[in-house]
Amino acid sequence: MQRRTFIGALAAASATGLSTRAAERVTAASGQLDSLAFDSTSSLVDETGGELTDSSVIAVWAEDTATNADSDGAGDATLYGDSVPIPLVASEDGVVGLGSILVEDGMDWQYGSEEFLLNVWDAEVGGGTVLWDESHGQYYTLSTVSEFHTYAENNGYDVQATTNLSADLSTADAVVITSPGSSFTTAERGELADFVADGGTLFLHDQSDYSNYDETANLNDVPSELGLSFRFNDDEVVDTTSNAGGDYKPVTDEFNTAFDYFTDRAGLELDPSKTYTGQVQEVLDGDTVKVPLDGTVENIRILGIDTPEKATNSGAERVEEWEGIEDLSYLQTWGSNATTFGKDELSGKTVDVTFDSEEPIRDAYGRVLGYIYYDAGSGSRDTLYNEEAVRTGHARVYDSGFAKHDSFRAAEETARTNGVGLWAQSDPDNSTSIRNRAVDDLFFPRAASVRTTGGAIDPSRVPVTAASTTNQTLDGGVSYADIPLVGVDESARTAVVGAELVDESYESAEGYAVDTSTYENFVFLTNLADSLSSNAGDILVDGGHGQFSSDFGLSVEDTAYYMRYLEGQDIGLEGVNDITASNLDGARALVITSPADAYTQGERDAVASFAANGGAVVLVGSGWASTDARTNLNDVAAAVGTDLRVNADSLTDDTNNVGGDAQVITTTDFDTSFPLFDAYDGSTGDGGSGGADVVVSQIHEDAAGNDNSNLNDEYVVFENQGTAAADVTGWEVQDEVGKTYTFGSFTLDAGATVTLHTGSGTDTDTDLYWGKGGAVWNNGGDTVYLYDASGTLVTSTSY
Q: Which residues are catalytic?
A: 301, 309, 367
Residue 284 burial (CB count, 10 A): 14
Q: Is the dihedral of CA 414, 418, 423, 425 positive or negative?
A: positive
Collapsing DSSP to helix, strand or coil, 118 comes out as helix
Q: Output the CA torsion 291→292→298→302 (10° steps).
A: -30
Cross-strand pairs, 290: 282, 299
CA dist list (Å): 239 to 12, 216, 235, 563: 11, 21, 13, 32
Contact 174, 39 (CB under 8 A): no
Residue count of the chain: 799
Q: What's the rounded Cα separation, in Å, for the pair 440 and 183?
A: 68
The C-alpha atoms of residue 24 and residue 675 are separated, in whole angstroms, by 53
| Strand ranges inside 274-388, DSSP E | 276-279, 282-285, 288-293, 296-302, 305-306, 350-354, 368-374, 383-384
Residue 618 to residue 599: CA distance in whole angstroms: 15
- Asked if 765 and 712 count as a contact pair (C-beta separation under 8 A), the reply is no
* Residue at 380: amino acid letter: S
Bin 770: left if φ > 0, else alpha if -120 < ψ < 50, else beta. alpha
Task: Tell me the C-alpha distance between 173 and 153, whole Å.
Answer: 14
The three-class DSSP label of residue 461 is helix
CA distance 619 to 138: 56
Q: What gap in Å lies between CA 410 and CA 417, rounded to an integer?
A: 11
Round to whole Å and give the CA distance between 355 and 365.
Answer: 17
Q: 598: closest CA among 549, 525, 542? A: 542
